[in-house]
Amino acid sequence: MKAARIGSYAGLAVLGAVVGLAGALVQSAWFPGGLLLALAACVGLFYGALRATGTQLGVVAPGVGWLVAVVLVSLGRPEGDQVFWGGGAELVYVLGGMAAAVMCATMSRLPHRDGGTGPLGV
């Protein structure tokens, strides 16, 4: 893999963490519009990463960043501070975001410029 491709995957992972953290804060602040906005951001990120890289690994990178951020936010602190309180909106956000990542990662590969979809253009 080239350094630019590795850098782009690392950047997508960081962007996934940012979207995960922002979505966790927005989904509970402006219910139900915030939840829809957070899920739309997840879908936009994952599908955009698929279109930008053309590979499933391009979806996995922001998906891992998103998942790490959401899990770290959901752990809470010993003092009792936490973002997720176990409500239905939080559950919809976590499951919806994971479903969006899986759907985008399992989409059929984008066609090559010559019209073929396989590695040899067949």
Q: What tokens does 46 get?
A: 């994952």
Domain residue ranges in the chain:
3-75+82-105
**pLDDT tens by residue, 1-24:** 688 888 999 999 999 999 999 998
pLDDT tens readout for residues 56-72: 889 999 999 999 999 88
- The identity of residue 88, as a single letter, is G
Packing angle of the helix pair 3-29, 33-53 (nearest 10 deg): 170
Strands (DSSP E) contained in the chain are none
Q: In this predicted model, what pLDDT tens digit does every residue of 28-59 receive, in sequence order?
A: 778 888 899 999 999 999 999 998 888 888 99
Query: Which pLDDT score is estimated for 121?
Result: 47
Q: Which residues are within 8 A (CB) of 39 and not within 5 positions of it... i.e. 6 or more apart? A: 23, 27, 92, 93, 96, 97, 100
In this model, does residue 122 exceed pLDDT 90? no
Q: Give pTM, 2 decimals.
A: 0.80
